[in-house]
């Protein structure tokens, strides 16, 4: 009786591949999948939850195609102040006025909402007014940090901020609780609500949140801490907050009024060396926090995190969250946004590109870099770096990636997932393809000083994968 011997099972891809895949799927929004025992909502579903499916959208009274508001700072309490049972009126101080202007600007950056500072003259779609109070009758500080009057059918909305026993509102600044509250209340004024039915409630995330992503990590309109969704906005023992709309807020505002595609439509740098003109996108030292969601209208853009000394996880895909500057899940990229380039810091960074032609620079440290789809330029910098290729389609003969600073004996090229897709237990190096899957050809051109690695994953005697590498690569440099 003949004994048949089955082919050996292909060896699984490397641990680095598995870890990068897990990082890429982190915070993934999968309908029907629970998050903390609560349903997971897509960005669009969460947006509709926050804007009540547009029920409180301001009508376009002047017919200009966008929401146009005037705003002013109250000089006296007025009837509404008393109706809300507020006590101890005071005007906004200069710092409060400056910070509220920035909060309003952050909303107009992401959606077709325009704000003009002037007294209420009845023009435009509505008027917003801001002022302070000392306390609410029957409510002790720090509860009742702010009160907003909802009335899009009327012409004026008012937001009042507690300053009695609560200094955060009196002296707000970027990444502070006070600035976060200002942006939150401004969101209410343009027609956004809390992601759940818990206005003024202290019931907590476990009882009050209606879906898993209802946290400050996804929305400034949420009451609940970002730690519930695996994020952490603290740095060296100090808690920081988003100063501008978070990812789900951006979606919610754009569902109401449409996206502002004119915002930062040129070449923009976020992080170190930022040219955004926005304090929440600007970092000047390694101690500065960066808590934000990026909205960008176009151009060739760069995420520069080079000044941070922490180990970072950087994801350039729209809808993703990155760990930067010693925090977790603190920097996100809104749906529909393309950021082309990224620069890592001094630590051991993980970098994941998107489908654009990315330039990814790891910098000092032992970095793991996956360019994703698109024709990318990859720079490891100093340290022992791994250039990871998750799929043969990410670097093809027609559009090969280029590794620009490879050091043989220190750096590695990880094609274990490409080899695994061929169904073979190992990569077989050959001089010419013979029509068997899993064959690789490695060559070096002394004139150009570039190595070329080609792999046939299907067995058609043609390469499906190709990468160009500056420097001479040996077979021992390849992880397969």
Q: Measured between alpha carbons, how far is 292 from 321 in angstroms, rounded to an integer?
A: 10
Does residue 19 fall inside a structural domain?
no
Q: Judge whether 360 and 405 are in contact, CB under 8 Å.
A: no
| Exposure b/e, 215-252, CB count within 10 A at least 16 = b | bbbbbbbbbbbbbbbebbbebeeeebbbbbbbbbbbbb
Does residue 7 fall inside a structural domain?
no
Residue 262 token pair: 């004119």
* Region label for 228, one of left (φ > 0), alpha (ψ between -120 and 50) or beta (otherwise): alpha
Q: Measured between alpha carbons, how far is 394 from 357 in angstroms, rounded to an integer?
A: 11
Rg (CA), the chain: 26
User: Do β-strands 341-343 and 146-148 pair in parallel, antiparallel, or remain unpaired?
Assistant: unpaired
Does residue 271 fall inside a structural domain?
no
Domain's final residue, options 189, 218, 237: 189
Residues forming a β-bridge with 451: 444, 469
- Give me the long-range contacts of 238-241 (CB less than 8 A, separation at least 24): 239/177, 240/175, 240/176, 240/289, 240/291, 240/327, 240/330, 241/175, 241/176, 241/177, 241/179, 241/180, 241/216, 241/291
Q: What is the CATH number of the domain that holds 445?
A: 2.150.10.10
Helices and strands (DSSP H and E) totals, the chain:
9, 31
State the distance between the two ends of the chain, measured CA to CA, in whole angstroms: 37
- The Cβ of residue 40 has, within 10 Å, a number of other Cβ atoms equal to 19
Does residue 10 fall inside a structural domain?
no
According to the model, what pLDDT value does residue 157 have? 92
Q: Judge whether 14 and 479 are in contact, CB under 8 Å.
A: yes
The secondary structure of 465-478 as a DSSP string is EEEEEEB---GGGE
Residue 12 vs residues 351, 413, 416, 456, 478: alpha-carbon distances, Å: 22, 16, 8, 18, 15
Q: Measured between alpha carbons, how far is 342 from 315 in angstroms, rounded to an integer?
A: 9
Domain's final residue, options 189, 223, 247: 189
Q: Is 409 exposed, middle or buried (0-12, 13-18, 19+ CB in 10 A)?
A: exposed
234 sits in which H/E element: strand 234-235
pTM of the model: 0.96
Q: Judge whether 208 and 198 are in contact, CB under 8 Å.
A: yes
Q: Is 194 exposed, middle or buried (0-12, 13-18, 19+ CB in 10 A)?
A: buried
Q: Measured between alpha carbons, how far is 129 from 219 in angstroms, rounded to an integer?
A: 23
Q: Judge whether 241 and 291 are in contact, CB under 8 Å.
A: yes
Q: Judge whether 183 and 291 are in contact, CB under 8 Å.
A: no
> Looking at the 3D structure of the chain, how many domains does it have?
2
Does the annotation place 188 within a ligand binding site? yes
Active site annotation includes 185: yes
Residue whose C-alpha is closest to residue 418's, from 13, 24, 22:
13
Q: Measured between alpha carbons, how far is 197 from 188 in angstroms, rounded to an integer?
A: 14
pLDDT averaged over consecutive 10-residue blocks of the chain (480 residues)? Answer: 60 97 95 92 98 90 88 94 95 99 99 97 93 91 80 84 94 98 97 92 92 98 98 98 99 98 98 99 98 99 99 99 99 99 99 99 99 98 98 98 98 99 96 98 98 98 98 98
According to the model, what pLDDT value does residue 141 have? 62
* Range of the structural domain that residue 399 is part of: 389-480
**CA angle (339, 340, 344) in 5-degree steps:** 90
Contacts of 213 (CB under 8 A, 6+ apart): 29, 35, 40, 41, 46, 195, 219, 229, 248
Q: Measured between alpha carbons, how far is 305 from 288 in angstroms, rounded to an integer?
A: 11
Q: Judge whether 379 and 360 are in contact, CB under 8 Å.
A: yes
Domain's final residue, options 153, 170, 189: 189
Residue 10 vs residues 157, 347, 419, 423, 425: alpha-carbon distances, Å: 65, 34, 9, 6, 4
Q: Measured between alpha carbons, how far is 306 from 76 in angstroms, rounded to an integer?
A: 48
Q: Measured between alpha carbons, how far is 263 from 339 in angstroms, rounded to an integer?
A: 14
Catalytic-role residue among 135, 156, 185, 226: 185
Contacts of 271 (CB under 8 A, 6+ apart): 281, 282, 283, 290, 303, 304, 305, 306, 307, 324
- The Cβ of residue 381 has, within 10 Å, a number of other Cβ atoms equal to 19
Does residue 233 fall inside a structural domain?
no
Q: What is the CATH number of the domain that holds 122?
A: 3.40.390.10
Does residue 445 fall inside a structural domain?
yes
């Amino acid at each position: 009786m003949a004994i048949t011997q089955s082919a050996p099972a292909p060896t699984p891809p490397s641990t680095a591949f598995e870890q990068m895949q897990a990082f890429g799927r982190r915070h993934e929004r999968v309908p029907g999948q629970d998050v903390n025992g609560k349903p997971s909502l897509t960005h669009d579903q969460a947006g509709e939850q926050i804007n009540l499916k547009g029920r409180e959208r301001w009508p376009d009274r002047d017919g200009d195609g966008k929401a146009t508001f005037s705003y002013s700072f109250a000089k006296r309490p007025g009837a509404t102040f008393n109706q809300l049972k507020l006590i101890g009126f005071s005007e906004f101080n200069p710092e409060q006025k400056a910070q509220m202007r920035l909060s309003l600007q952050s909303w107009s950056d992401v959606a077709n909402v325009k704000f003009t500072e002037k007294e209420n003259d009845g023009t435009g779609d509505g008027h917003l007014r801001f002022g302070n109070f000392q306390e609410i009758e029957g409510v002790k500080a720090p509860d009742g940090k702010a009160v907003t009057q909802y009335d899009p059918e009327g012409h004026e909305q008012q937001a009042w901020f507690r300053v009695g026993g609560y200094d955060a509102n009196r002296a707000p600044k970027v990444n502070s609780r006070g600035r976060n509250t200002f942006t939150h209340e401004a969101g209410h004024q343009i027609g956004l609500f809390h992601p759940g039915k818990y206005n003024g409630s202290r019931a907590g995330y476990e009882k009050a949140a209606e879906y898993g992503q209802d946290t400050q990590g996804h929305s400034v309109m949420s009451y609940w801490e970002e730690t519930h969704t695996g994020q952490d906005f603290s740095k060296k023992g100090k808690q920081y907050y988003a100063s501008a709309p978070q990812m789900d807020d951006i979606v919610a505002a754009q569902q109401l009024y449409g996206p502002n595609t004119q915002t930062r439509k040129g070449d923009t740098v976020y992080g170190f060396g930022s040219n955004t003109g926005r304090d929440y996108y600007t970092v000047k030292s390694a101690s500065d926090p960066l808590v934000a969601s990026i909205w960008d209208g176009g151009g060739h853009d760069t995420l520069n995190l080079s000044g941070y000394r922490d180990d970072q996880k950087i994801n350039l895909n729209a809808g993703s969250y990155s760990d930067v500057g010693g925090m977790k899940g603190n920097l996100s990229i809104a749906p529909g946004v393309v950021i082309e380039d990224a620069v890592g810091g001094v630590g051991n960074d993980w970098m994941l590109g998107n489908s654009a032609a990315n330039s990814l620079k790891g910098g000092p440290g032992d970095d793991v870099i996956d360019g994703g789809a698109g024709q990318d330029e990859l720079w490891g910098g100093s340290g022992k770096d791994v250039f990871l290729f998750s799929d043969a389609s990410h670097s093809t003969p027609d559009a090969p990636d280029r590794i620009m600073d490879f050091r043989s004996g220190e750096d590695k090229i990880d094609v274990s997932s490409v080899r695994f897709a061929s169904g073979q237990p190992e990569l077989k190096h050959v001089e010419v393809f013979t029509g068997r899957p899993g064959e690789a050809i490695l060559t070096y051109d002394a004139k150009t000083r570039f190595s070329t690695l080609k792999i046939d994953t299907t067995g058609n005697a043609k390469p499906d994968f190709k990468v160009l590498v500056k420097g001479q690569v040996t077979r021992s440099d390849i992880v397969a």
